């Protein structure tokens, strides 16, 4: 049966929550009544602003390194004694022609976008199980579903996040649900790149999405019955439906 107050008394960790989509998710979770843990890497000033506005505590870690992931979850446990929700939002994105992707660029993208998501899920699940379970939402991407020719490493990493979501939904059942939100183009301040403009022009809804719309989808998975697991929700204005 659905919980009538699914966020009250719950602790939610959002990675990469200083700015943009992660910030929108942290603010929305706080507005829903959750106790929020804001993770950041380099954007300390923005993270402080998000934390102040969401009444959250701040946690710093470079998620490229597994020992830092373990330290992050230990600090969250020390601060709150539990973890109910984990939103794996932190990621890297870059546009590089496939013929020019270096080993270093491949590793940087995969270390944050895929390896860190796995080890955050693992550490998060271990902590959640100490209090009976929880819910995980991984931010993947339309680029993990559709092939973007100048983003081979990014697309491969996000396709990995989608498969990881499905695998872990089975591996962590019955006490933890794992789902994924796959954003299309989400725009913030400043001018859109020509590529983003082209994608928006091809989007049936004829606009970019907002951080708040992605946060809405994340919250809907966290509010849902744990019977909803292993699912990927594209929030992309219909772009994934184009021929």
Ligand X SMILES: NC(=O)c1ccc[n+]([C@@H]2O[C@H](COP(=O)([O-])OP(=O)(O)OC[C@H]3O[C@@H](n4cnc5c(N)ncnc54)[C@H](OP(=O)(O)O)[C@@H]3O)[C@@H](O)[C@H]2O)c1
| Chain positions contacting ligand X, by CB under 6 A | 16, 18-22, 40-43, 62-64, 89-93, 112, 139, 141-142, 183, 185-186
Residue in the shown chain whose Cβ atom is closest to ligand X: 16
The distance from CA 147 to its chain's CA centroid, rounded to whole angstroms, is 20
Residue among 11 and 63 whose Cβ is closer to ligand X = 63
Of 85, 119, 154, 221, which residue is the catalytic one? 154
Residue among 29 and 112 whose Cβ is closer to ligand X = 112
CB of 132 to ligand X, least distance (A): 28
CB of 181 to ligand X, least distance (A): 8
Q: Look up 80 and say whether it is catalytic.
A: no
Q: Which among 151, 47, 36 has a CA at the least distance from the CA of 85?
A: 36
3-state SS track over 180-234: EEEECCECCCCCCCHHHHHHHHCCCCCCCECHHHHHHHHHHHHHCCCCCCCCEEE
CB of 157 to ligand X, least distance (A): 9
72 near 61, Cβ under 8 Å?
Answer: yes
> CA 125, CA 222: separation in Å to the nearest integer?
15
Residue among 36 and 91 whose Cβ is closer to ligand X = 91
Catalytic sites, residue numbers: 154
């Amino acid at each position: 049966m659905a919980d009538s107050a699914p966020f009250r008394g719950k602790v939610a960790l959002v990675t990469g929550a200083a700015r943009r989509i992660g910030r929108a998710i942290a603010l929305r979770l706080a507005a829903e009544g959750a106790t929020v843990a804001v993770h950041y890497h380099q954007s300390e000033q923005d993270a402080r602003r998000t934390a102040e506005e969401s009444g959250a505590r701040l946690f710093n870690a470079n998620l490229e390194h597994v020992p830092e992931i373990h330290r992050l979850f230990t600090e969250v446990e020390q601060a709150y004694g539990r973890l109910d929700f984990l939103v794996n939002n932190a990621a890297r994105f870059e546009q590089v022609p496939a013929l020019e992707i270096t080993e270093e660029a491949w590793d940087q993208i995969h270390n944050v976008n895929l390896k860190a998501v796995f080890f955050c899920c693992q550490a998060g699940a271990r902590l959640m199980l100490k209090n009976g379970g929880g819910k995980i939402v991984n931010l993947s991407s339309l680029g993990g579903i559709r092939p973007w020719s100048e983003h081979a490493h990014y697309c491969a990493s996000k396709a990995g996040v989608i498969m990881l979501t499905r695998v872990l939904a089975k591996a962590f059942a019955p006490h933890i649900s794992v789902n994924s939100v796959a954003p299309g183009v989400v725009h913030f301040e400043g001018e859109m790149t020509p590529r983003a403009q082209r994608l928006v022009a091809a989007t049936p809804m004829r606009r970019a999405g907002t951080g708040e719309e992605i946060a809405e989808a994340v919250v809907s998975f966290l509010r849902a019955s744990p019977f909803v697991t292993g699912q990927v929700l594209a929030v992309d204005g219909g772009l994934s439906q184009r021929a």
